[in-house]
A = this chain, B = another copy of it.
Protein backbone atom coordinates (compact mmCIF):
# COMPACT_ATOMS: atom_id res chain seq x y z
CA UNK A 1 0.00 0.00 0.00
CA UNK A 2 1.27 3.45 -0.81
CA UNK A 3 -0.22 6.77 0.25
CA UNK A 4 0.52 10.17 -1.07
CA UNK A 5 3.16 12.75 -0.23
CA UNK A 6 2.37 16.41 -0.88
CA UNK A 7 5.25 18.87 -0.68
CA UNK A 8 3.84 22.37 -0.51
CA UNK A 9 4.92 25.96 0.03
CA UNK A 10 2.91 28.37 2.13
CA UNK A 11 4.40 31.43 0.44
CA UNK A 12 5.99 34.07 2.68
CA UNK A 13 3.26 33.82 5.32
CA UNK A 14 0.33 35.96 4.22
CA UNK A 15 -2.45 33.38 3.68
CA UNK A 16 -3.66 35.37 0.68
CA UNK A 17 -0.40 34.38 -1.05
CA UNK A 18 -0.87 30.61 -0.70
CA UNK A 19 -2.26 29.02 -3.87
CA UNK A 20 -5.64 27.28 -3.89
CA UNK A 21 -3.98 24.00 -4.92
CA UNK A 22 -1.69 24.13 -1.87
CA UNK A 23 -4.69 24.87 0.35
CA UNK A 24 -6.51 21.87 -1.16
CA UNK A 25 -3.50 19.66 -0.42
CA UNK A 26 -3.59 20.83 3.20
CA UNK A 27 -7.30 19.99 3.42
CA UNK A 28 -6.68 16.50 1.98
CA UNK A 29 -3.76 15.54 4.24
CA UNK A 30 -3.79 13.97 7.67
CA UNK A 31 -0.15 14.25 8.80
CA UNK A 32 1.96 17.40 8.56
CA UNK A 33 5.75 17.58 8.73
CA UNK A 34 7.65 20.84 8.83
CA UNK A 35 9.50 23.53 10.72
CA UNK A 36 7.18 24.67 13.53
CA UNK A 37 6.71 28.31 12.42
CA UNK A 38 5.67 27.13 8.93
CA UNK A 39 3.16 24.64 10.34
CA UNK A 40 1.82 27.46 12.53
CA UNK A 41 0.66 29.21 9.33
CA UNK A 42 -1.90 26.45 8.71
CA UNK A 43 -5.23 26.16 10.51
CA UNK A 44 -5.26 22.41 11.07
CA UNK A 45 -8.33 20.43 12.07
CA UNK A 46 -8.38 18.27 15.21
CA UNK A 47 -8.04 15.14 13.03
CA UNK A 48 -4.86 16.45 11.41
CA UNK A 49 -1.56 15.58 13.08
CA UNK A 50 1.25 18.11 13.44
CA UNK A 51 4.85 16.81 13.51
CA UNK A 52 7.14 19.83 13.94
CA UNK A 53 10.92 19.68 13.79
CA UNK A 54 13.87 22.05 13.79
CA UNK A 55 14.78 23.74 10.52
CA UNK A 56 18.20 22.07 10.51
CA UNK A 57 16.66 18.57 10.43
CA UNK A 58 15.53 18.54 6.81
CA UNK A 59 16.76 15.10 5.81
CA UNK A 60 15.41 13.38 8.93
CA UNK A 61 12.06 15.08 8.36
CA UNK A 62 12.10 13.96 4.73
CA UNK A 63 12.73 10.34 5.71
CA UNK A 64 10.02 10.36 8.38
CA UNK A 65 7.46 11.77 5.94
CA UNK A 66 8.38 9.23 3.24
CA UNK A 67 8.02 6.38 5.74
CA UNK A 68 4.53 7.52 6.64
CA UNK A 69 3.46 7.98 2.99
CA UNK A 70 4.91 4.57 2.14
CA UNK A 71 2.80 3.10 4.96
CA UNK A 72 -0.32 4.53 3.31
CA UNK A 73 -0.80 7.89 4.99
CA UNK A 74 -1.67 11.09 3.14
CA UNK A 75 1.20 13.29 4.25
CA UNK A 76 1.96 16.97 3.72
CA UNK A 77 5.49 18.36 3.99
CA UNK A 78 5.33 22.10 4.52
CA UNK A 79 7.93 24.65 3.45
CA UNK A 80 7.75 28.41 3.69
CA UNK A 81 7.87 30.15 0.31
CA UNK A 82 8.33 27.66 -2.53
CA UNK A 83 9.26 24.07 -1.62
CA UNK A 84 11.68 23.89 -4.56
CA UNK A 85 13.86 26.89 -3.62
CA UNK A 86 16.27 26.08 -0.75
CA UNK A 87 13.56 24.04 0.90
CA UNK A 88 12.07 20.58 1.36
CA UNK A 89 11.58 19.33 -2.22
CA UNK A 90 15.32 18.75 -2.70
CA UNK A 91 15.60 17.01 0.68
CA UNK A 92 12.70 14.71 -0.24
CA UNK A 93 14.40 13.85 -3.55
CA UNK A 94 17.71 13.18 -1.79
CA UNK A 95 15.97 10.84 0.64
CA UNK A 96 14.25 8.97 -2.19
CA UNK A 97 17.51 8.73 -4.15
CA UNK A 98 19.27 7.13 -1.17
CA UNK A 99 16.31 5.31 0.35
CA UNK A 100 14.51 1.97 -0.09
CA UNK A 101 13.06 1.10 -3.50
CA UNK A 102 9.52 1.33 -2.13
CA UNK A 103 9.88 5.11 -1.74
CA UNK A 104 10.11 5.43 -5.53
CA UNK A 105 6.53 4.17 -5.81
CA UNK A 106 5.11 6.87 -3.57
CA UNK A 107 2.67 9.24 -5.22
CA UNK A 108 4.75 12.41 -4.84
CA UNK A 109 3.01 15.72 -5.57
CA UNK A 110 5.12 18.87 -5.31
CA UNK A 111 3.17 22.15 -5.46
CA UNK A 112 4.91 25.46 -6.11
CA UNK A 113 4.59 28.55 -3.92
CA UNK A 114 5.57 32.21 -3.84
CA UNK A 115 9.23 32.23 -2.88
CA UNK A 116 10.59 35.05 -0.71
CA UNK A 117 12.49 36.93 -3.41
CA UNK A 118 9.35 37.28 -5.56
CA UNK A 119 7.28 38.56 -2.64
CA UNK A 120 9.97 41.04 -1.56
CA UNK A 121 10.51 42.21 -5.14
CA UNK A 122 6.80 42.84 -5.67
CA UNK A 123 6.60 45.07 -2.59
CA UNK A 124 9.36 47.34 -3.92
CA UNK A 125 8.82 47.45 -7.69
CA UNK A 126 10.72 45.12 -9.98
CA UNK A 127 14.28 44.58 -8.75
CA UNK A 128 14.24 41.12 -10.41
CA UNK A 129 13.01 42.61 -13.69
CA UNK A 130 16.04 41.37 -15.58
CA UNK A 131 18.53 38.49 -15.34
CA UNK A 132 19.10 37.40 -11.74
CA UNK A 133 20.39 34.58 -9.58
CA UNK A 134 19.35 33.06 -6.28
CA UNK A 135 21.96 31.73 -3.87
CA UNK A 136 21.93 30.26 -0.41
CA UNK A 137 24.62 31.92 1.67
CA UNK A 138 24.76 28.96 4.05
CA UNK A 139 28.10 27.18 4.11
CA UNK A 140 26.65 24.27 6.08
CA UNK A 141 26.20 22.26 2.87
CA UNK A 142 28.80 23.74 0.52
CA UNK A 143 32.29 25.15 0.98
CA UNK A 144 32.61 28.89 1.59
CA UNK A 145 35.18 29.13 -1.23
CA UNK A 146 32.51 28.07 -3.70
CA UNK A 147 30.09 30.70 -2.37
CA UNK A 148 32.73 33.43 -2.79
CA UNK A 149 33.43 32.25 -6.33
CA UNK A 150 29.73 32.25 -7.23
CA UNK A 151 29.19 35.74 -5.79
CA UNK A 152 32.12 37.07 -7.82
CA UNK A 153 30.99 35.45 -11.07
CA UNK A 154 27.36 36.51 -10.53
CA UNK A 155 28.35 40.15 -10.02
CA UNK A 156 30.71 40.07 -13.00
CA UNK A 157 27.89 38.63 -15.11
CA UNK A 158 25.63 41.54 -14.17
CA UNK A 159 23.04 39.38 -12.39
CA UNK A 160 20.86 40.82 -9.66
CA UNK A 161 21.67 38.56 -6.69
CA UNK A 162 19.04 37.24 -4.26
CA UNK A 163 20.54 35.75 -1.11
CA UNK A 164 18.64 33.20 0.98
CA UNK A 165 19.79 32.05 4.45
CA UNK A 166 21.98 35.16 4.71
CA UNK A 167 22.87 34.95 8.39
CA UNK A 168 22.24 32.96 11.57
CA UNK A 169 23.69 32.65 15.05
CA UNK A 170 25.99 29.89 13.79
CA UNK A 171 26.93 31.85 10.64
CA UNK A 172 27.42 35.44 11.82
CA UNK A 173 30.11 36.78 9.44
CA UNK A 174 29.19 35.41 6.00
CA UNK A 175 26.83 38.18 4.86
CA UNK A 176 29.28 40.92 5.79
CA UNK A 177 31.98 39.07 3.89
CA UNK A 178 29.64 38.78 0.88
CA UNK A 179 29.20 42.58 0.85
CA UNK A 180 33.00 42.96 1.02
CA UNK A 181 33.42 40.70 -1.99
CA UNK A 182 30.82 42.59 -4.02
CA UNK A 183 31.93 46.17 -3.20
CA UNK A 184 34.98 46.21 -5.52
CA UNK A 185 32.88 44.79 -8.40
CA UNK A 186 29.63 46.76 -8.18
CA UNK A 187 28.98 50.54 -8.05
CA UNK A 188 28.81 52.01 -4.55
CA UNK A 189 25.24 53.17 -5.18
CA UNK A 190 23.96 49.69 -6.11
CA UNK A 191 20.68 49.21 -4.20
CA UNK A 192 20.68 46.49 -1.53
CA UNK A 193 17.28 45.34 -0.28
CA UNK A 194 16.71 43.67 3.07
CA UNK A 195 13.25 42.08 2.93
CA UNK A 196 11.59 40.29 5.81
CA UNK A 197 8.06 38.93 6.24
CA UNK A 198 6.92 40.47 2.93
CA UNK A 199 3.15 40.91 2.84
CA UNK A 200 2.73 40.14 6.56
CA UNK A 201 1.78 42.58 9.32
CA UNK A 202 5.38 42.46 10.65
CA UNK A 203 6.88 43.19 7.22
CA UNK A 204 10.21 45.02 7.24
CA UNK A 205 11.76 46.37 4.03
CA UNK A 206 14.95 48.40 3.89
CA UNK A 207 16.86 49.72 0.86
CA UNK A 208 20.39 51.07 1.20
CA UNK A 209 23.33 51.60 -1.16
CA UNK A 210 25.86 48.78 -1.22
CA UNK A 211 28.47 51.12 0.28
CA UNK A 212 26.33 51.37 3.44
CA UNK A 213 24.91 47.84 3.59
CA UNK A 214 25.20 46.45 7.12
CA UNK A 215 24.81 42.71 7.65
CA UNK A 216 23.36 43.35 11.12
CA UNK A 217 20.11 44.48 9.48
CA UNK A 218 19.45 40.87 8.37
CA UNK A 219 18.35 37.82 10.30
CA UNK A 220 17.80 34.23 9.17
CA UNK A 221 14.33 35.06 7.78
CA UNK A 222 15.56 37.96 5.66
CA UNK A 223 15.91 37.77 1.88
CA UNK A 224 18.70 40.08 0.71
CA UNK A 225 18.55 41.32 -2.89
CA UNK A 226 21.61 43.06 -4.32
CA UNK A 227 20.99 45.01 -7.51
CA UNK A 228 22.99 44.94 -10.72
CA UNK A 229 24.70 48.03 -12.17
CA UNK A 230 21.45 48.60 -14.10
CA UNK A 231 19.15 48.64 -11.05
CA UNK A 232 17.50 52.03 -10.48
CA UNK A 233 15.54 53.83 -7.78
CA UNK A 234 12.48 55.99 -8.49
CA UNK A 235 11.76 58.60 -5.85
CA UNK A 236 8.08 59.27 -5.26
CA UNK A 237 7.06 62.30 -3.16
CA UNK A 238 3.91 60.74 -1.72
CA UNK A 239 4.82 57.04 -1.84
CA UNK A 240 7.77 54.77 -0.95
CA UNK A 241 10.61 54.66 -3.46
CA UNK A 242 10.46 52.04 -6.20
CA UNK A 243 13.43 49.81 -7.02
CA UNK A 244 13.60 48.20 -10.45
CA UNK A 245 15.92 46.63 -12.96
CA UNK A 246 15.02 47.63 -16.53
CA UNK A 247 14.12 44.98 -19.08
CA UNK A 248 16.92 46.22 -21.33
CA UNK A 249 20.66 46.29 -20.77
CA UNK A 250 21.96 49.39 -22.46
CA UNK A 251 25.63 48.69 -22.09
CA UNK A 252 28.03 45.80 -21.67
CA UNK A 253 28.90 45.13 -18.02
CA UNK A 254 32.59 45.28 -17.32
Spell out A's residues near B (CB within 8 Å).
Answer: 11, 14-21, 24, 58, 82-86, 89-94, 96-97, 104-105, 107-108, 110-115, 118-119, 121-123, 125-136, 141-143, 145-146, 149-150, 153-154, 156-159, 199, 232, 234-239, 242, 244-249, 252-253
Contact = CB atoms under 8 A, between A and B. Distances in A.
Given A11-B19, A114-B19, A238 B105 contact: yes
Contact of A234 (B104, B115, B239, B245): B104
Given A90-B246, A150-B159, A242-B96, A111 B105 contact: no
Contact of A108 (B143, B153, B239, B253): B239
A237 B105 contact: yes
A198 to B, nearest CB: 8
Nearest to A157: B153
A252 B147 CA distance: 10
Contacts of A146: 158, 249, 252-253
A230 to B, nearest CB: 10
B104 A112 contact: no
Main secondary structure on chain A at its contact with chain B?
Answer: mixed
A96 B216 CA distance: 33
B19 A84 contact: no
Q: How many protomers of this protein does the assembly include?
A: 2
Given A89-B125, A112-B119, A128-B84, A142 B21 contact: no
Nearest to A111: B122
Contacts of A20: 15-18, 20
Contacts of A145: 252
B131 A134 contact: yes
Contacts of A96: 234, 242
A125 B155 CA distance: 29
20 contacts: A21-B199, A84-B126, A85-B128, A89-B129, A90-B129, A90-B245, A92-B126, A94-B246, A97-B232, A97-B234, A104-B237, A112-B119, A128-B134, A131-B136, A133-B133, A146-B253, A150-B158, A153-B153, A154-B154, A157-B157
A123 B112 CA distance: 9
A57 to B, nearest CB: 13
A248 B40 CA distance: 27
A118 B82 contact: yes
